[in-house]
Amino acid sequence: MISAIIFDLDGVIVDTAKYHYLAWKRLAAGLGFEFTERDNERLKGVSRMRSLDILLEIGGMAGKFTSQQQEEMASRKNEWYLEYIMKMTPDEILPGVIPFIDEIRGAGIKTGLGSASKNTGLILSRLDIAGLFDAVVDGNMVIQAKPDPEVFLLGARMLEVEPSVCVVFEDAPAGVQAARNASMMCVGVGEKDTLAAADTVIPGFDGFTLCKLKRALLCKEI
């Protein structure tokens, strides 16, 4: 039985990962080292400060800055990121997402959003889709980052459903593990090799339906 579906935001609803990457790359360049798209994969689904720790590790600069300096770096990165997302439009919503959400809401399934991003509200406003979710949990509301299940467990409480009847859509291994840790079903959005811990994996929402979801969870494959 599926009573609620909780979506991650970045890489599931919209591809803001490219904007995170550009901002982190800009920060790394200012520190004198290169930050590649492959490096950026390590930051998916991870909190801002932990992402900074990883970036500094990649640049061989771990432990070289004070906490205040790191806070300033993270703030600078976020300012650049905000510059990018302030230009977003609804056209950037990934293919098939809106039809799928409309279908599940029409079927009486509750919808939630569970994201590590502290800019979730702004992004939803720019995309004009805040009204599609019955509950929204973002990085301003939780303490623990994924793979800790806090974001999804809070989402379930706000939706007033048990974790066992929730399905999470995630594009990052840390997010998949967070769903697992919350005792929720999980659909990975992306590559099977990367998201092997999910119950099933889809390449995207284009052509995806509630019937296909139920069949995938029953058979463990699309």
Domain of residue 114, residue span: 4-14+90-219
105 plus 211 within the same structural domain: yes
Cα 86 from chain centre: 18
Question: For position 112, what pLDDT does the model report?
Answer: 98
Is 8 catalytic? The answer is yes
Question: Is the domain of 9 the same as that of 108?
Answer: yes
Work out how many domains the chain is built from and give that number. Answer: 2
Residue among 10, 39, 138, 199 flagged as catalytic: 10
Pair (9, 28) in one structural domain: no
- 39 as an active site residue: the answer is no
**Which of 8, 39, 138, 199 is an active site residue?**
8
For residue range 66-118, what is the model confidence (pLDDT) as tens digits?
A: 999 999 999 999 999 999 999 999 999 999 999 999 999 999 999 999 998 88
Q: What are the tens digits of pLDDT across the range 33-80?
A: 999 999 998 887 677 899 999 999 999 999 999 999 999 999 999 999
| Residue 165: other Cβ atoms inside 10 A | 16
Please check whether residue 92 is in contact with residue 14, taking contact to mean a CB–CB distance below 8 angstroms: yes
Show which of 85, 110, 132 is a domain's final residue: 85
Q: State the pTM of this model.
A: 0.85
- Domain-terminating residue out of 85, 100, 126: 85
Instruction: Supply the pLDDT for residue 167.
Output: 98
Q: Is the pLDDT confidence value at 165 over 60? A: yes
125 and 185 together in one domain = yes
In this structure, are 95 and 70 located in the same domain?
no
